[in-house]
Amino acid sequence: MGQCSHLDDMDRKKRSELLLQDLGIAINTGLPPITSEKLRSAKAVAERARVLYAVAMYAEGTASAQGIAFLKGHGLWPSAVTPKEKAFLCNCDPSPLDIIQFTWRYESLWVLLWAIGGLEALSFPDHLCEVVEVHRIVLNLPEYCSLRPSTEILDAADLTYRCHWATIENQLRCRGSDRLDPGVVYERHYAFNWLLCHQNQEWDDVTTDT
């Protein structure tokens, strides 16, 4: 079983590398394959998606009271909200930096919605997600969701991991690229690491090493 799992992981790594090579995106063959022994539950993912929706909406200009009311309606306030998210939602005059950072959470949210079946496919990370579509999906999430097969999640996480390395490499070498959006890639990597229980880190503490 262990040997089969290792072969699957290496196949995943190779598929990601070949896809990026075909697109002319730099790869690092020394990066290990993405693996995970456990995933967050579908319930935890749906809860996190709703919280991200509330903070991103507030960052975009919706009244914080509306976001908090939305979370209370789903029994998520304040138990499912992280300390940083709570501080942001309770701040009537957030800083421009906080507003920018929490607006980007739409991109993390996009990954989580895909993971619980809200999206049919996760597009390549070269453009921003469709915020109007985010609203529609979140407001129509069923009470009970289920996760995609772990192999699909691991495949997407592995590709995102390698995309993140490529964006950092481009920045270090002062190279631009229209093949990848660095902000989108970072937020997706963040969401996948949380989803895969990377180092058992909670949302506020997720790292995205490459």
Query: Could you tell me the residue ranges of all domains in the chain?
Result: 8-39+149-205, 42-139
Tens of pLDDT, residues 31-82: 999 998 899 999 999 999 999 999 999 999 999 999 999 999 999 999 999 9
Q: Show the tokens assigned to 188.
A: 């997706």
Which of 75, 76, 94, 70 lies closest to 84, judged by CA?
Answer: 94
How many Å apart are CA 191 and CA 197, to the nearest integer? 10
pLDDT digits (tens, 9 = 90+) for 149-168: 999 999 999 999 999 999 99
